Amino acid sequence: MTREARRYVLAAAVVAALGTVWCVAHLTVGAGTEAIAYVFAPLGGVFATASVARLLRTGDLQPVGRRFWRTMLAAVALISFGYAWFAVDILVHYTEARTHPMPVPAAACAAIGFLVAIWAMIRVPVVAAEGVEWWRMLLDRTIGFLGCAVVLWYAGLAPMIGAAEPWSPQAMVLTGLGLLVAVGAATKVSYVAGGPVDRDAIRLMAAAGGVTAAIVTVLAVRLGAAGSVPAQAIVMPLTPLLATLAVLAQVRADLGLRRARGRSGVLLPYLAVAAADVPLVAVALGAPLSWPSRVVLLAAVLVTVLVTLRQYLAFRENARLLHSTRVQEERLQHEVSHDGLTGLANRALFRDRIAAALAATEPAHVLLVDLDDFKTVNDLLGHGVGDELLVSVARLLRAEVGADGLPVRVGGDEFAVLLTGAGSDPEGLARRLLAALDQPISAHRLLVQASIGIATAGPDQPIRATVDSVLRDADVAMYTAKQRGKAGFVRYVDGMGEPVLAHMQLGGELRRALDNDEFRVVYQPILRLADLRVVGVEALVRWHHPARGVISPAEFIAAAERTGLIVPLGLFVLRETCRQAARWRAEFGPGSLLEAGLNVSARQLHDPDFVADVTAALADTGLPCEHLVLEVTESAVLRGQQVSRTLHELDRLGIRLALDDFGTGESSLSLLRAFPAAIVKLDKSFVDGIEIDDGQPAAADARQAVARAVIQLARALGLDTVAEGVESAEQAAVLRELGYTLGQGYHLAEPLTAEGISDLLARQRSITVAQYLA
């Protein structure tokens, strides 16, 4: 397609060159009649029309581009036909070629062609704009149109109309339309969006009408009728040549052979003002103040008014943009320094304010507020309710702190308050906050408690405080408040951090211990009270520390719960217990060990992978589901819907569940109906003292009441019972009398290693065989 477009350009150029050569020959040696000059423009128009038609047939045009070039085809064809008609008429009247006017029908045909071309350019879409931008663009185009029109009027049409040898009205109308095409396209092309119609193609089509018209007007003014020959032979053939070049530009743009350029309409109004000033300068330098000059002056005034209006709109838009920028900067600054959920100051702003207070050497009090058991709210009611609760706590902080300090959300469910000045009362604020939290808050009317740590830095301290040291002290005090029972506040004092730090370090050591395989599982037997035969074991974990020796679970289980390491630790105990129980059953027979149990924490039951982990452990070791017992405390059972769903899913798998430490909670009896328990383990506190015989039957009955009630309730519900903490033969005897068949405790058997349980089972089997043989 590019090659064909170039052929049409070459053909039109040859026609223009022939016209130039003929004109030179005619003016120098008198070659041919003047009527021949009128042949070249319509001849070139044939190639221009064919070029546009070829583009429509073979070009890959978008709908808007196809509409433009279809309309432009009609325009080029009409203009070429009008000038061809004129050429034929001139050849007929060749003797009057210099003075013979263009036939009115031919001029009308060409004029319609120019109007069609103007309509095609009007329909080309411009850059989309709305509001002030649309008005600014409209003003720019109007200013550009008037500025260009003033110059063309003053330098072209006006002198042409007032020339000593005026041209025919037809010629002046067509020249004016050609100039109008140029001016309209010049003001339009700067705002074309650069899409379906190529901007360079529009410029070339504008030049096809405007450049030739401008040159024709100069010839008309300077040479009069004598300028008609060079105008028709040299200038007019440029119109079809430029049209074919426009087609070539469109083809190259569609093929992506030319780099797209940005919009250049920014300079248009300023160039138009400069153009309008040209005739004004001419008048100022002595040009006669004729009626064309008065038109120029009026147009220049109108351009000045429009420019002023445009600048006013630009000023307003710039002011709006500056205001919007300032608002956005303030919003971004607020977002950087404030929490998105609660609107409180965030950690970054908190640290900056603490640093400023310390630099000013004024007392700074930091209250670190941590909500107690906030995770339960998210687990039971969902994160949406949890977020509403956080917002309510933030509102409460603002109300209690007021203008005396800076309330902050540090992160998660942790808040803080910064108080400065000698008159601050951090303890009083802590009491007010705790008192306010005693009342239900948020739309869900929830009760929430908090632990508050207080740290103070001031110029009277022996060691200059830093931001990190103040926050560390407040964190230590808050952690101490949690250790003391929560729902309280503690002020930091020197030395308070040492036990807390040791506890925190314990968490780090737990991670290392898991990685280094320092944990061991021991097993406490569960015996039948009637004959002291082993029926099951309870798995217990021990930490073999490389430096401290064996560490009791009482020291590290709480740290494991707090750090979340209870999940991998519990998984280790689960897999080891299943593996060892399956090994014992394989070695000593299926009836040698009826159950293998282990404790499960609430944190493990909240783990979404827990059921899958239990299933995988049973499948990998081959231990039947009914021989695994998972022991759960009453407090863990009450930890929400997720725990309840997990327990019921385990029960459906056939895994037996035991309610550990039964009788110590507030809802023990109701739990037996809602919780799918298979075993009830009587807590040690109800076994202690059960054997005491002080000669007072009423007192003995009181000590045995709970144990008696539990066994009766378990029988009624079809549950097995295990008495924990049996420390003497007397306790075992009383429990047997009350109806208990199973027990565990140091009197019956201490926790043993896996090898110790194997020896116990081996001895038990040998006794059984001996009894059988006897």
How large is the greatest C-alpha to C-alpha distance in the chain, in angstroms? 158
Tell me how far CA of residue 490 lies from CA of 427, 428, 443, 686, in angstroms: 9, 12, 30, 36
pTM of the model: 0.48
Are 562 and 507 spatial neighbours (Cβ–Cβ below 8 Å)? yes
The residues, ordered by sequence, that sit 6+ positions from 416 with a Cβ below 8 Å of its Cβ are: 350, 366, 367, 368, 369, 407, 408, 409, 410, 474
Tell me how far CA of residue 534 lies from CA of 549, 581, 701, in angstroms: 30, 13, 30
pLDDT of 616 reads 94
pLDDT of 130 reads 52
Structure tokens at 505: 């370090």
Q: Strand, helix or coil at 609?
A: coil
Are 743 and 723 spatial neighbours (Cβ–Cβ below 8 Å)? yes
Residue of 347, 466, 363, 357 lying closest to 416 (CA atoms): 347
Residue of 46, 50, 185, 37 lying closest to 114 (CA atoms): 185
Structure tokens at 43: 């001849």
Instruction: Give the number of other CB atoms < 10 A from CB of residue 300.
Output: 20
Structure tokens at 183: 């001016």
The residues, ordered by sequence, that sit 6+ positions from 713 with a Cβ below 8 Å of its Cβ are: 669, 672, 680
Tell me how far CA of residue 348 lies from CA of 281, 336, 344, 471, 476, in angstroms: 64, 8, 12, 13, 20
pLDDT of 773 reads 47
pLDDT of 418 reads 93
Average pLDDT across each block of 10 residues of the chain; the chain has 774 residues. List them in order.
Answer: 82 89 83 82 89 83 82 87 85 73 81 80 61 59 61 56 58 61 60 66 74 65 68 84 86 68 52 58 56 61 67 72 79 79 89 86 87 77 85 90 88 90 85 88 80 83 74 88 82 75 72 89 93 92 88 82 84 94 91 90 85 94 93 72 84 90 62 78 85 68 81 87 91 90 92 93 78 49
The residues, ordered by sequence, that sit 6+ positions from 283 with a Cβ below 8 Å of its Cβ are: 289, 293, 296, 297
Which amino acid does the sequence have at 9?
V
